[in-house]
Chain A
Amino acid sequence: MCLAIPVRVVSIEGDEAEAEIGGVKRRVSIVLTPEVRVGDYVLLHTGYAIGVVDEAEAEETLNLLEEIARLSEVHR
C-alpha cells in the first residue's frame, strides 16, 4: 500500500510529468513535489510523485555500505 518506486522524470508540463520506468513512460502528478526538475528521480506512489530522490545521499549511503563491507571482513 505504501509502495513507492523510483522513476526518472523525462518531461514536465504544469503539475504533471512524464516519467520513465524500465523503458515504459507514464504520467505522474507532481502536485506534491513542485520542486522536481527534468532528470530527477521521484518516488512514485499511486500516480503521484511523493518525494524527490536525493542522489547525493544515495551515493553516500552506497559508499558507507562498501566501507562497512570492507571493515567487517577485516574484523572477522
Chain B
Amino acid sequence: MKFIDEYQNSELAKGLAREIANHSTKPIRLMEFCGGHTHAIMRYGIRQLVPRTIEMRSGPGCPVCVTATSDLDKAIALAGLPGVIITTFGDMIRVPGSYSTLQQAKAEGADVRVVYSTLDALEIAKANPKRSVVFIGIGFETTAPTIAASITKAYQETVENFYVLSLLKLTPPVMRALLNLGEVKLDGIIGPGHVSVIIGSSPYEFIPKNHNIAFAISGFEALDILLCIDKLVRQIESGHPKVEIAYSRGVRPEGNAKALELMNEAFEVDDANWRGIGVVSQSGLKINEKYRRFDAEKAFAGLLRFAPSDEPASESKGCRCGDILRGVATPLECKLFGGLCTPENPVGPCMVSSEGACAAYCQYESPRDSENSGGRI
C-alpha cells in the first residue's frame, strides 16, 4: 500500500541502521511514548538493527493500559444500569476492573457493544431512542477530536440519548509528570506520530528546553522509526537536543487546526487519573458546560454505585503494568510474564491491549532475538 510499503524497504533500513551505528558513540536510553511504536519496534526487530548500546523503553502511550481501575469500575457500573447500552472500542472490554470486566458484565446480561468509530455509537443511539447509549471515551489527542465530533454532531442533531464517559488523556502533561518524577534517566524520546498530527510539534518544546532530552516525532513504519532514532542520536551526540519531526508526511508543526478547534469546542482540560502514575494535573479532557448533558458521569451520577471510596481500586497482584507504563521496568522483569500472564489469559491491561508493551513482547520476542539477528525487515 502506498505510504506504507516504501517505508519498509529493507535496503534503506540497513542503510539507516549503518548510519546510526556510524554516529552513535555512547550508550543511550530512548523511550518510545506510543504503544503503537513499541509494537512496530518489536515487529520489525528494530532493537536488533540498531547498536546494542541503544536501549529502548516503552512509555505510557497505550490508552487502554493507562485507564485507571477506578474509571473502569465506573464503566462497568454504567453497564449494569437498566436501559443502558455501552459502546466501546474493542480492547477495553477485556480489561479487568476491581471486580469484573465489561465482557463479564456482558455475559451477565449487560448490553455492551464493540464499535469501530464514535459514528457507530451515535448510529446505535439513533436506532435505540428509548435506551441510553454511553460511549466509553478513551484515547489521547488522536482520538479526542473524533469524540468531540460525535458530541457536537449529537448536539446539532438533538440526539437526546447519547452520552460519553470521557476518560481522554493528554500526552505532553504526562510526559512532563514522568520527567519530573525522574525515576528513569532518558536521553531521547520517540514522539507519538498520530497524536502529533493533531497537536503539532510545539507542545513538546519543554522537553529539550527544561529537561535537556532529545525529541523527535516518528511515523509507524520501520524506516520512520529508524529515521527518528537517527535524528535522536545526532541530537544527543551533538549535545543540542531539540524538537524534530521525523514524520513530515503526516505531522505539521502547527498540527490540525480544525481538529483542535473541535476539541476546544466540546472539552475543557481537567486532572486525570493514570494507571501506575496517579492523578496528573491538567492531563485529561472533560466535557465542558455547553455540552454537559452528554456527560455520562454527570447524567448518571445519582444512579451509580461504586465501591466505598476509602477502599482503593485494587490492581492484580504481582502485575507490574504501572512500572512498565512509567518506563521503570520492561515486561521481561515481571515474574508473571509469559507464564501466568499471556495474551490468552491476561492478568493486566498491558497484556490485554493489542497496544500494550507486554502483549508486544509476548508476540514478537523469541529466543532468537537475544542473539543479534539483524532485524526482521
Question: Are B259 and A50 in contact (CB-based, < 8 A)?
Answer: yes
Closest beta carbon of chain B to A74's beta carbon, Å: 10
Instruction: Flag A7-47 by CB within 8 Å of B: 1 or 0 each.
Output: 01000000000000110000001011110000001010111
Residue of A with least CB distance to B140: A2
Nearest CB in chain B: distance from A65 CB, A: 5
Contacts of B3 in A (CB 8 A): 6, 41, 53, 58
Report whether A72 and B22 are in contact in the complex, using a CB–CB cutoff of 8 Å.
yes
B148 to chain A, nearest CB (A): 9
Chain B 283-306 residues near chain A, CB threshold 8 A: none
User: Who on chain B is nearest to A76 by CB?
Assistant: B18
Pair A2/B4 contact, Cβ less than 8 Å: no
Size of interface on B: residues with Cβ below 8 Å to A: 58
Bound form: Cα–Cα A33–B256 in Å: 8
Q: Could you tell me if B36 and A3 are in contact, using CB atoms closer than 8 angstroms?
A: yes
Q: Which residues of B contact A48 (CB under 8 A)?
A: 117, 119, 145-146, 149
Cα distance, A60 to B248, chains bound together (Å):
9
> In whole angstroms, what is the CA distance A72 to B15 when docked?
6
Chain B residues contacting A22 (CB-CB under 8 Å) are 1
User: Do the beta carbons of A32 and B18 come within 8 Å of each other?
Assistant: no
Partner of B89, one of A1, A64, A66, A76: A1
The distance in angstroms between the C-alpha atoms of A58 and B140, with both chains bound, is 25
State how many angstroms separate the Cβ of A66 from the closest Cβ of chain B.
7
Chain A: CB-nearest residue to B192: A2
- Are B250 and A43 in touch, CB under 8 angstroms? yes
Name the contact of B19 in the complex, choosing from A4, A6, A53, A72 (C-beta under 8 A). A72
The residues in A between 45 and 70 inclusive whose CB is less than 8 angstroms from any CB of B are: 45-48, 50-51, 53-55, 57-58, 60-62, 64-66, 68-70
- Mark the stretch among B59-67, B158-166, B334-342 that contacts chain A: B59-67
Q: In the docked arrangement, what's the CA distance between A31 and B151, Å? A: 13
How far, in whole Å, are A34 and B3 apart by their CA atoms in the complex?
21
Residues of A within 8 A of B12 (CB): 65-66, 68-69
Among the listed A1, A6, A21, A68, which residue makes an inter-chain contact with B139, where contact means beta carbons less than 8 Å apart?
A: A1
Q: How far is the CA of A27 from the CA of B12 in the complex (A)?
A: 34
**Which residue from B34, B252, B262 sits with its C-beta under 8 Å from A31?**
B262
Interface set, chain B 1-39, CB cutoff 8 A to A:
1-4, 6, 9, 11-12, 14-16, 18-19, 22, 34-36
Q: Do A5 and B4 have beta carbons less than 8 Å apart? A: yes
Cβ of B118 within 8 Å of any chain A Cβ, yes or no, is yes
B197–A50 touching, CB < 8 Å:
yes
Per-residue contact bits, chain B 48-74, to A (CB 8 Å; 1 contact, 0 not): 000000000000011110000000000
On whether the beta carbons of A45 and B22 are closer than 8 Å, the reply is no
Q: Which of A41, A50, A66 contacts B142 (CB 8 A)?
A: A50
Q: Does B18 lie within 8 Å of A43, measured CB to CB? A: no
Considering the complex of A and B, which 5 residue pairs feature the smallest CB-CB distances, nearest first?
A69-B15, A47-B117, A58-B249, A72-B18, A6-B3
Give 5 CB contacts A-B under 8 Å: A1-B89, A2-B194, A32-B146, A47-B116, A68-B16
Q: A41-B3, A46-B143, A47-B116 are in contact. List 7 more A-B contacts (CB 8 A).
A: A2-B63, A3-B220, A6-B2, A55-B249, A58-B249, A61-B249, A72-B19
